Structure 1
Amino acid sequence: MKAEVWVEVRPTEDEEKVRRALSNVFIYDEIRIEESEGKRYIVALGNGFKSLIKVHNLIKEQGIEDSARSVLMRGIDGNRVVFHLHKQAAYAGVLTFVTEENESPLGPITFIVETNDPKRLIDWLAPKTARGRRLYEVQPPDDP
């Protein structure tokens, strides 16, 4: 499993605060700055389930498995799962999914996760629940 995360750094933003928002939701192995179409981005790369453990833990702590599962399932595209998180919420250590354009005024944190088994990844991140309780726990997908 490989994850690539993009987050725009707007001219009015402090780059260190954007990095903190990213670090609150993602454990990366590599990070770089890219410029594209006049915009500046932090691009972070992570390998294996460990890179998404913060997303996993925040979903569990906040009890948002059902809504997270719904958003993640809609994000499946072949062997990829694409989803967006609210940058300002991430800075505060809160996981909020962005489902509409312009929902995050400073731009979202965009996750592009490649895996051989997207459904197993989602089962690990946000398992099904009944009456607010997880029906099962899935072990993290095997690392490459």
Structure 2
Amino acid sequence: MHYNYLPATGVTNIEQLALLLTGWGISFGIVFDDDSAGRRVFNSIKKTLYQDNDVEARKNIYKIKDCDGIEDLFSQNDFYKVLLQHNSFTASTKQNSELAKDLRISKPVIAFDFYLRVKDGRLIKADLEVATLTKFKALMTSINTIVANQQ
């Protein structure tokens, strides 16, 4: 399967992108964080593009379960050591997405840096904890299901 990722740079941009892609006749899938903003936009797109049909909408839209932000896919250790590149951290009861907001981290900057390190081979699968890999595997399985629904 071949597909491309289009970063929306904010949940508020997703509906407009979905409408544009629909107008251009381009198949697409959407992945949302499972926070209040993601649920709100999901419901709006479901109403606008899928006539409020939850079953049809979920064929093309996936909400990452128990994930208020993409950072929550990482274990807390990987969040600090891999994403933020800090050698040590103090465990927190907050989710990574909350910590990212508290630290005023730029998601696009962190994501692009992560991408470059993976692309250049400076970051490999073995550098990540099993918990992180498990969550990403589940996400990729869901994305592959969305792509398969469109063929």
* TM-score normalised by structure 1 residue count: 0.26
Structure (1 or 2) with the greater strand fraction: 1
> Rg: which structure is higher?
2
* TM-score normalised by structure 2 residue count: 0.25
